[in-house]
Amino acid sequence: MNSTTPRVQELNLYRQYFDLVAAGTKTIEVRVKYPHLADLAVGDIIRFRIKGTDAICHVNIQRVTEYADFEALLDGEGADNVNPTATRDEQLVNIRNIYPPEKEALGALAIEIQLVH
C-alpha cells in the first residue's frame, strides 16, 4: 500500500485576506512566482497564518495557474474569486502595493484553494 502525505507550505496573509479565506469566500490566492512556490501542486496543503498571531487556517490546493502579470490573472480568474469585497481596479492597486513591479515581473500565480474544515 502506497500512500502519500500531502506537502504543507506555510504562508502569511494580511488579516483582511485571511478572514476571506477562513470564511471560504476567497477561492483564489495570488502570489508572485517565487522559486520556493514554483513546485506548488494540486493536493498540497497551505497553512495560512497571520504573522505575529496564533490564527491559522488550512486549504487544499485545487489548481495552480501561472500568468504573466496581475492584470491577466484578475481577468482570467475573475476578481470576485480573488477578493469578493473589492473591485478589480481596487484589487490591482492593493496587489501591486504588496508586490512591486520587479516582483510582478517574476510572474503571477493563481492558486485555487478550498478551505479544509
Backbone angles phi, psi at 115, to 5 degrees: -60, 135
The grid coordinates listed for 55 are: 490564527
Q: What pLDDT shows up at residue 3?
A: 60
Any domain includes 2: no
Does 113 score more than 70 pLDDT? Answer: yes
Q: On the CB side of 47, how many CA atoms lie within 13 Å of its CA?
A: 9
Any domain includes 1: no
| Domain around 110 | 8-115
Backbone angles phi, psi at 12, to 5 degrees: -90, 150
> What's CA 2's distance to the chain center, in Å?
30
Q: Kindly report the pTM of this predicted structure.
A: 0.93
CATH of the domain at 16: 2.30.130.30
- Overall number of domains in the chain: 1
Residues 1-43 pLDDT 10s = 456 788 999 999 999 999 999 999 999 999 999 999 989 999 9
Residues 47-94 pLDDT 10s = 999 999 999 999 999 999 999 999 999 999 999 999 999 999 999 999
The beta strands (E) that lie in 1-117 are given as 8-12, 28-32, 45-49, 56-67, 108-115
Distance CA 100, CA 114 (A): 27
Does 111 score more than 90 pLDDT? Answer: yes
